[in-house]
Amino acid sequence: MQGTVDGFSYGLVTPVVAYLMACLGGALGLRCVTRAMVTSRCRRSGWLVLGSAALGSGIWTMHFVAMLGFTIEGTPIHYDPVMTFASLAVAIVMVGTGIFIVGYRGATGTALFTGGTVTGLGIASMHYLGMAGMSLDGRLEYDTATVAASVAIAMAAASAALWAAGQARGFLWSVGASLVMGLAVTGMHYTGMAALDVHVHGTADPLAGEPASDLLGPMLVGPLAFLVLAGIVVIFDPLMVMGAPAAPPTEHKPGIPAHSPVRPSRLRVRGPVEHRSRTPQRR
């Protein structure tokens, strides 16, 4: 039996909130990338790790906020907690890989293509792994062409967002990058949902997993709390708002005091010394 799929059971509330969550995660994650590219190399990895966790959490939160409004006529939907948590881990790891590539290689063509591709594949992997964690009285089928289009949207928009973040030209560029990243995540999500076709079995077998209201609500609290903490770190960093580059570290050489100018030493030119006799000479 063909099941009627409704992704907007709460109207525009869940799509709008989901998009805002994606933009929030994108703003924090990409801003950390910008900060990492203008800081010293020893501190770069810390900013990139924070950006990976923030962006991955934002993507995961966006997906399951949107799934709160997803219903299928004729069957309830349950979620497997293990698969749901695994989708969060996959999002953080794969998105983090793409972020590290751009963070250390710079916003060059090859790095952007590789980093954007990996980041887009991370978004798509999180989405379809989360969908695989659903348990319902039916069978899910996907249209191959629409799935490929959703992955292409994720990769293209992720590459554009990483390029904008790599420019490090101030706050407005970061806002634009976060909006593009939010578009990548939500565009990929709803394009992927458009590829879904559900065949309901119509049996009364009990479903494994937890209902969406019992599982997704409490699980969203953790990533949301992390996004708030990451936002506090970003806000209170003095160089984050304007995107000003950090001062280059002072090179310290052995034997030279730090922060002291090195003055050129005076060279003594030694020439032949003329000795004059103190005895008066007769002319």
Round to whole Å and give the CA distance between 191 and 175. 24
Handedness of CA 132, 138, 143, 144 (dihedral sign): positive
Task: Flag the least confident range among 116-120, 185-189, 217-221, 253-257.
Answer: 253-257
Round to whole Å and give the CA distance between 264 and 127. 63
pLDDT at 127: 92
- Per-residue confidence band for 117, with pLDDT thresholds at 50, 70 and 90: very high
Helix (H, G, I), strand (E, B) or coil at 6: strand
Residues 6+ apart with CB under 8 A from 60: 87, 88, 91, 126, 130, 223
For residue 247, the number of C-alpha atoms closer than 13 Å in the C-beta half-sphere is 4
Q: How confident is the model over 182-206, as a mean pLDDT?
A: 83
127 neighbors 22 (Cβ within 8 angstroms): no
**How far are the Cα atoms of 75, 103, 193 from residue 6, in angstroms, in the given order?**
12, 39, 10
**How far are the Cα atoms of 6, 61, 70, 233 from residue 196, in angstroms, in the given order?**
11, 20, 12, 39
Handedness of CA 239, 172, 46, 230 (dihedral sign): positive
Tell me the whole-structure pTM to 2 decimals: 0.75
- Per-residue confidence band for 125, with pLDDT thresholds at 50, 70 and 90: very high
Q: How confident is the model over 108-121, as a mean pLDDT?
A: 89
- Per-residue confidence band for 246, with pLDDT thresholds at 50, 70 and 90: very low
